[in-house]
Structure 1
Amino acid sequence: MMNASWFRRLLLSYLPVFFIVTSILFFLFIQAFNEQNRREALKANEFLASQVVQYLDNSLRSIDYKVLREMLTNQNLKNYFAPGLGNPVLDAIQAVDVIDELKIDFPLIHSIYLVRYHDGTVLSNGKTVPIDAFPDAAFIEESRKRNAQKWTGARNFQAFSSEAGVPVVTLVRPMGADADGLVVVNVGLASLKSSITRMYDPGYTFVDVLGPSGERLWNEAATGEASRGSGAGEIFSEFTSSYTGWKVQTGLNNGKVVKFALQFYNVWFAVAIAVVFIGVAWVVYVTRRNYKPIEQIVTLIETFATQKKSNGGQAQGNELRFIHTTLEGMMQQTKQYQQQYADNLILQKKYFFQELLEGTKRYDEAEWKAEMKKLNLPVLGDRWTVAVVEIDRYRKFTEEYHRQDQSLLKFILSSVLQEVAQQEGTDAWAEWISDRRLYAIVWLSDDREAEELEKKLFASYKDWVEQNLNLTVTVGVGLAASDLEGLRFSFKEAAYAMEFKAALGMNRVILRDDAPEPHNDLFELLKTISLFVQAMRLSDEEWEAHFDRLFRQIAESVLSRQEIVNTMQLLVQHYEREFADLSREYQELWAESLDRLLRRLEDWETVDDLRERCLDVFRDLAEQMQTIRQSKGHRSLILQIRKYIEENYGNPDLSLNYLSDKFDINPKYLSKLFKDEIGEKFLDLLISQRIEKAKQLMQETDKPIQEISEEVGYTNYNSFNRAFKNVVGVSPSDYRKQL
């Protein structure tokens, strides 16, 4: 039935919104609850991570300090490493006592062994063995090369080849000022992890420690336990030790946390389901109550539309389509008429306006007057004039105002013109034919002078716009006309008067009778253009004076816009001819400048505006041409100076001042040339030459380093040593040892 169908549609229109809203609220609540739990867990994990880092740093730093102190103060340890002194057996026994005391003081220490370089032995577990026979020989050799003094990452240590490796982290300290040996301390990772595990509950929380290379210190190999998988939990905090460089990562294990969150989730989910059912019951009740007036409306429409319904024009039971079709039939004629009138009237006026002014369609007097009457346009007299209103600085206008604001301001400009005309006892018909120009037909009364009316009307309009809007307009006015042909001629005259806006300026009224006759001297313009282009080609500083003279002549000649454009085209042609004989780099420079110049010639309004746009382009062109000329001379000079440096680097007096005196050039300017042409400073180039020569001498000769220092230009050995180390990374003596 129709009633049941309507009821279902009304009911289904409420329910989706209800479900959406309740679902969003439910989701937001759960998210907020989970986020709160996450924040609390994050704070707890940050505290745990900081405590683990502090414990690791304190434990390992204490071992490091104790070992260093024993190395510096314990005479027994020093005697063991001293070659050829005392009783070797007694020294070894006393050294073992020192090791045992350290292991007693610090239970985290797994093992300690001592390496002596002068006899190539290792003291480990009370036994002395050769380094080559010791299982940790590779680590000893690596530590000796890099002279390591920090804690290493996780590694396997074997005291005896028959034993299995034990995961440890190791501290290596060189013994003595000349590194006579090594003290190697191994801390067991299993003991270290056991100490840290007592600080948290592994059932809820995990703690990972990453070594200096990013490897995880506790893993299956290191501690005998399964490592934490990638999905075991989210990392909540991370701290990096400033002492060891290790990273400590903490987070929550997913299992119990998710279970904890789901307990609350189930409770709130049950509450939400109950609320949804209550809401559904309420929507059903409200729908039934509100359905009664709608039912009456449907009954009335059915009674009115019995004829259409009997024709089978709609589906049985689809009351929404039935209501729509019935109402559409009732209002069809009125709606069509209003739509046609509203849509076409504005366009009809605009098209008719263009046809009258442009002459695209022929009208006799009776036809165009009948059309104007049909369009509700004024017919006040037999004399008219055409005006062109142009928005000044239209580019700025489009940049400052949004498109909707532009449309509003244009509507205001059109309406104000009509109101000002009505205040003067006449009327105006205005249309925006182009984006920046408003064209208007103004009726002239018979009892007043047309010229006086034009001046007063358009001057009042221009002043109102300037005072009340944040813009100005320029108005061009054609001659008065008394027939349709005269009206079209007035349209052309108004557009021609607007051409002199470029020479006369903006924000003014230009009557066709007041438009000046051009009196330009083409020969003088061509002469000035030729002098200007020649000065630019020769980089003569007088080019700007010729440029100013050219635009002064254009302004004094009072040229129309098209004539000014023709003059600029002559200027471009002269440039094309002059630059055609220059080298390729000058031609490429002119091509780039011409592209900029042509873009700036597209949108200008006055001679002063055009002058500023062109002046920027020509200034850049002159500067770049001057730079090219200067760089050609400077390049050969700087190459000559560089060759001199390569041949005389051994001169200790070689400096910027020395070169400036020899080549007669300012030191500051010489320094700038080095940076611009070579790409590096003078001092950097000189040091590079000297150090490379020193390296070559050390490789190919056995000369003393002091002699090599003097030969490459360093009279002070300390200066040579410092410069060599800055460039190569090691001292000269170390470099020779490496060779």
Structure 2
Amino acid sequence: MKQPWRKGEDLEMNNNWFRRLLLSYLPVFFIVTTILFIVFFQVFNEQNRKEALKANEFLGSQVMQYLDNSLRSIDFKVLREMLTNPSLKNYFANSPLDDVTAAIQAVGVMDELKLESPLIHSIYLVRDRDNTVLSNGKRIPLEDFPDAAFIKASRDHHVLRWEGARDFKAFPSQTPVRVMTLVRGESTGEDGLVVVNVDLPTVEKTILQMYDPNFTFVHVLNRAGEALWEPENPGKAGSAKLSKGEVFSEFTSSYGGWKVQTGLANGKVVKFALEFYTVWFAFAIVVVLIGVAWVIYVTRRNYKPIQQIVTLIQTVASQKKPGPERLQGNEFGFIQTTLESMIDQTRQYRQTYEENLILQKKYFFQELLEGKKAYDKEEFRAEMDKFHIPFLDSLDNRWTAAVVEMDRYRQFTEDYHEQDQSLLKFVLSTVLQETAQQAGTEVWAEWLSDRRLTAMLWVKENRPPGLFEQKLLSTYREWVEQNLGFTVTVGVGKQAEDLTGLRESLKEASHALAYKAALGCNRILPRSEVPDTNRDVYGFLQTISRLVQAMRLSEDEWEKHFDHLFQQMKSSVLSRQEIWNTMELLVQHYEREFGELSREYQELWADSLQELLKNLEDWETVEDLRRLCYESFRELAEKMGSMRHAKKNRTLILEIRRYVEENYSNPELSLTYLSEKFSINPKYLSKLFKEEIGDKFLDMLIRHRMEKAKQLMLETDKPIQEISEEVGYTNYNSFNRAFKNAVGVPPSDFRKQV
């Protein structure tokens, strides 16, 4: 701790150093200013007036170029946004009149324009659809807007128009500001106007930096020939009073129509100074010599503190790193390098400290709730102060633990980018804290998992148990539902009076949240209101057994048992783990029953099970689980039914085919004959022949009879008439025609060829 005398000594030292710097450089400033003054008047006014004219022309062109470029750039940016920015088009033409989002987006475009162009004082939008003005983030009726008269006068001008200078104020109580105004019609001019006000004092200050008003004047005139500001009194814009002096150059802008005039000010003083050229010259030489001597003296005197600083830095550096250290560059470079190194180290240390503090805070929160360490009141208060958490006399109040879980988290991760996810989670935490503060209490919340925000809520003793927390968290839940693109479910534990009770309250909150699957999303689940589980294991086993048996036998009753199973789970109010255990029991029954079937059915179940498990990766309620399971079970039932039906049809067709091959000689053999024998519809039988054998029944029968006829003609000497009867043809002409169509030659010619 510094003593009073030491503090005064430091103050005196600082003042001495200030006076030394002031006395060191102030004379140099006057010397340089005097020399420049002499050189300016001697060289530019006496010896080369033409150079003065060129200088004024250059200054005038620079001022004109600056005005044209600056205002043209603003005009271009405004025009670019009007043509390409969908937010402006949406606000003027497409969005509803009361669309707040469109207004906010339009305000964002105006803010970006103001950031890109510092000369812009203000921007407002005039929308013709509802005759309103959007200014400073508010929509104001045109008749209530202070600049209404100017807007009405500008409605007929839909091309580029710069008005200046004029007084403008956005609010009636505001002091008017002198501005130049750009008016542009949106699109074709039928939707509204974009009005941009350029701050004239800012333009004036920028132009004043281009010249010395003591020797040169610059007049900027509008179309009416009035000065935009008074050069002799900077800051008083709009005065018609101009500096006296000869005008050396004049430029007229083809873009804005304004004029820029430049010349020398105070001409009489300059002429008087030129008459005493010899005196000025001698005085300049004396001043230069005095200035050189003074600079040498001051440099020698002021170098000693710098030398001491360098010596001190070298001493400290040599203590950290043995061995001599050479100076690289001059002393100031050495000091700058050392200071930059110290600043970088300090910044890195601060960043590391802040990151570690966040991790330590989360670790302390987790340690506090999981009961890894016991804290007394003083230790607890010290830790809370360390992390800047309101203490609120915590051990004399009550706590309630709550767990906020984001609903449909997988959909959330698919809809938002990682940066947006982090931002929305930060919003959830911040809104919870603000909601608690509005309710007169505090909350400490940390993200201990990806989808769960764990919170510790302070509750005063005079609050009714349970009601205060539910009301606060319901307000929070409703805000999230209304303002964000997702919902949350909150599990709430009972109030606790100490840390042990707080840890038990956290377990109760997590336990209550486990019943979200049965009770539904987007709600508050207090532990006291979660009913006890009524799980009838025997009833579940019966329903599962009936469901699997019906599925195995391809009965339509399986859907009734399926619906009954999920109705049982919902009415029994099972936790998520209990619901999952029931699903595992269902899968085990399926595997046992399908294990007794053929390999084809086992492979069919394996494929369905793999697809089912993939779908079950993301479900939150019983209804979600039912919807996912139903699709898999329905597809499995359809495939099993199709497989059974196909097997049955193929067995029947093979049996009929064997019968045809054995009884081909029967003349009465036909589709009608077979349909009566095997009790099947003739048309359906014909369709089955085509699907299973790939040929029509009649074609198959004729082909088989012709093969037998050729075999008999090759192996026996039986007459063709007899062979015709043996293969099922009572009419020889029919046989002859069928044989010729099938083989290509009549039966007699075939026998001769053989």
TM-score (norm 2): 0.48
TM-score (norm 1): 0.49
